[in-house]
Structures are given as structure tokens and as C-alpha cells.
Structure 1
């Protein structure tokens, strides 16, 4: 049995260094969401949001100087269409005739996707996404001091879009042609619909008139503050995102079916001095002093 969601998330992250939703409409991941990744499913389990009133109470108990409601997420302008495939999978120019379906000549997006025979591949298409993110400064600095986030992951940015397509191949060398068409009639300026020549069941496509889908997002976690080498030196305050690091997968390398790869053998697994991002351990690039060194 294929661990579809986990494999899809892993493949898209390898290609983009970001985290994906195979079914964006089923997961409410917003800017400020915090929680942990499920190592069995690849899903981000949301435990709360830094913009929730409950979190503001935790922030007040720690800082008491900032109201996050005054520093709401920023929504950037539309970007170009985002189309990415995992290694060996590439979008190609649309090859079908212009009369294959009504309205194809007015398509907002159209392209072909070829997947490798005998190997799983993943693809993601977002129509003119907009990046929503924390405003610069203040938010990262304020939430760093909240102890409840010590071992949690925080979502500082999310790509939002009106239409998306996702797919994880079955190793059958699939080829998919996709087009995003305007709906006919008076609503054609705001309503969209997907067309495909494929009958593949696990190809997922959705559209909406608003930016309600979040197929891709980033994740950060705290870097522990390093105790100064000199005892009388002050511990530096975190500035913006300087004391936050990217999150690494909490699962080991996967085989083509999304299960832990039995071939993988990390003979440095028990060495705490070796940086292994697959363990999701926090990497501290500078030595932490011992008390004996301060004398």
C-alpha cells in the first residue's frame, strides 16, 4: 500500500525546500499556524495559531508589549503561475490541438506532464499564487520568547491561490495534459475550470473565485539562544527571523511507496556531534561554553 501523502510531501520538499498539501482544501494551514509534522502521514498537525486570542494571552504573560493583531499577515501581489515536478518530472509545452476542447485557446494555463516509467513522481501547479507572510520584524521577535513554542514549528508564509492541481504518479509512465479554462457566460472573468485528457483518479484539481487554497507553505523552528562565552556578556535578543531555522523532515528517507527505505543505514546515528538534518535536530554552529571556560 502506498503512503501517498507522505511520499508526495517528501518529493515536493526535495524540489522546492517547502512543504506541500496534497489536498489543500482539507487542511486549514494559515500564516501563524503552529504544531508538528506527523512522521507517518507527512501532514502538519495544527495545534493553534499565533494570531488566536489564546496565544495572545501566552504572549502577554511573556512580553506584554505587543499585540499581534496590530501586525497581521501581509498578502503580496500575484506571481506568475507556479508549476513544479519532482526529479525527472518536467512540465512541457501543451501538445494537443487547439480545438481539443472549447475555450482551450483562452486557457489561463496549459501544459503537458510526463512521468517516468517505474518511478514515482509528483507535480504541483498553482495558478497565479500570492504569498501571504509575517510582516518584517516584530512578530518573529515577539513569539520567540513564548516558551510554549519551544519544540513547535511555526508557519511564517503560505502560498495562496484560486486554482491548483496535484498528482503523485503510479510508476506507470503517465502523461497528463492540463488546461485551466474560463467558465462560459457572464462569470467567465472570475470563475475557472480545469480540463484534462487524463482519466487518472488521483489527479486532484480544484478552483475557486477567491484565494482559499494553500498548497505550499514554509515552516520554521527556534534556534536555542547560545550562552555567551564570557559570563558577563549579555545574551543577545533575537532579531526578526535570525534566531529561527528551517524545519527538516522528521522521517527517514523513503522508498518509492512512501515507506522507510530499508537500504538506508546511518552509521553516525548515535553521534551527537554529527549534523544529520533527517533527525530534525537543532544545529548550533558555534560552541557553547562550559562554566570552567569562564573562570
Structure 2
């Protein structure tokens, strides 16, 4: 499927208001900025707003490690009426930009670089992931993530937890990865400052004192037109382009 990545990303974004990373081993970090490739839907990295002394401001919360033999197991069914996207993350970890004035001041100090760019404000990473983009037919898949350790805690078991995916399907497009030493990034959030953000002082005097810093951002919407089931942009009907304008008389075309 030529536009599988864009279709998968579009479905996830529509459901979660977050962007899927079609290549989770590729690193995406909080504070990255860039644009979205219209054909693939993937984030095109240009830089990161952070200087070293800002790194300690990141907030993060860690998931609880599972040491059971089966960490995840599911049977998924697709009715075939339209394509569906599935994203599973094990041991998700969340990081985000701090919601304070220092970030606002940092962005305002670099308008020549950041104006018109999208900024990664949230990242969800994990130790194992599975992606699946369904076909337009009815079928089912079985997905299992197994932990390669006994039930005892890793410290007493004498080694780190390892994972392995088992995916039973010959349909659709699937991707998966499992490595406790890796940091996969299947999901992230893109925002951009609202248009008046770049005005000085900020729209009108007093605006900066009366609003919350988070209200100065807006979610990034997909840069493509609505997609069909193959990930192609639906052609928007243009009456003028098709010559469907006639001379009307009393409400009826001549």
C-alpha cells in the first residue's frame, strides 16, 4: 500500500489528537521542531528548542514494569467496512514540555527559526510496540507479547526483562519491536503557537497576564485533505475547474 504510513497516522491522529511515528525506533524528543511530510505523514526534524540547562525541566512519569510471562495478549477482529489502525504500547513513558513562562520566553527568543514550525510538546515512549493497519476485508489477528523471565522480580532473577512479539496474521500491514534497552517512540503530540503569539507584546497589552501559557498553543491538524481507504487524498470537487457554471435565468440553467 503506497500511502500506508499516512493512512495509519491519519487514523491515529483523528482518534487521539496525537501523531503516530511510523518508524518508532527513530527518535523524537520533547522540544523537537519541524514540519510534517504531506506524502508520508512523518515528522521532518529540523532541530530542538532545548539548551542543556533546560533539560532538567522535563516532566516524566514511568510505567510499572511487568515480569509476568505474558505481558499482553489480544484477539482483534476487523469487519472489513473500512480500514482501522491499532497501536499497542507496553510500559509507556510520558514526557512533556513544562507549562510555564520560561518556555514561552524561549520560543519568543527564536522567531526567525520557529515561526511557522510545529513543536513536539509530548512524547510517549515504550519498551515494546505493535502497529497494525487493517485491510478492507473481514479477518482477525492474534497478538501476544511474552516476557522472557520467570515471575520473580528482575533483581532476583539475575537479568533484565526481555520481550518477544507473536503476531498471527497474513493480512494488513504490521510493525512491531521489543527491546527493554531501546526507547521506541510510537506516539507524540504536535502543537504550534497561535498566530497572535508572534505579535509583540502578545496580541494586545494585558493578554499575557490574563491567559494560561497552554492557551497560547493549538494542535497541529493534518496538512492533507481527507483521505480515502488507500491513503490517497480525496479530490475536492471544483465546479469552476470542471466548467460547471452556466448562465441562469429564473433559477434554471440555460
Pairing of 1:1-295 with structure 2 (within 5 A): 1-25=1-25, 27-51=26-50, 67-71=53-57, 73-78=58-63, 106-145=69-108, 146-147=110-111, 148-184=113-149, 190-200=161-171, 202-210=173-181, 212-225=183-196, 234=205, 236-237=207-208, 239-262=212-235, 264-265=236-237
Q: Distance in 2 between matches of 1:45 and 1:121?
A: 25
Query: 1:166 and 1:244, CA in 2 relative to 1: closer, same or farther beyond 3 A?
Result: same
Q: Distance in 2 between matches of 1:242 and 1:177?
A: 42
Native 8 Å contact 1:79 1:130 kept in 2? no
CA shift, 1:137, in A, is 1.3
Tell me which protein shows more strand as a share of its residues.
2
Native 8 Å contact 1:127 1:163 kept in 2? yes
Q: Distance in 2 between matches of 1:139 and 1:10?
A: 32
Query: 1:140 and 1:240, CA in 2 relative to 1: closer, same or farther beyond 3 A?
Result: farther
Q: Distance in 1 between matches of 2:158 and 2:166?
A: 17
Query: 1:253 and 1:79, CA in 2 relative to 1: closer, same or farther beyond 3 A?
Result: farther
Native 8 Å contact 1:33 1:47 kept in 2? yes
Aligned residue for 1:258, secondary structure, equals coil
Tell me which residue corresponds to 2:251: none
Aligned residue for 1:36, secondary structure, equals strand
Aligned residue for 2:213, secondary structure, equals coil
Question: What is the TM-score with the length of structure 1 in the denominator?
Answer: 0.68
1:252-276 superposed Cα distances (whole Å, 9 cap, x missing partner) = 00000000112x4489xxxxxxxxx
1:54-106 superposed Cα distances (whole Å, 9 cap, x missing partner) = xxxxxxxxxxxxx52453x222131799xxxxxxxxxxxxxxxxxxxxxxx83
Superposition RMSD in Å: 3.0
Which residues of structure 1 form unaligned runs of 5+?
A: 54-66, 82-104, 268-295
Which residues of structure 2 form unaligned runs of 5+?
A: 151-156, 240-254
**Number of residues of Structure 1 aligned to a counterpart in Structure 2:** 226
Q: Distance in 2 between matches of 1:234 and 1:106?
A: 60
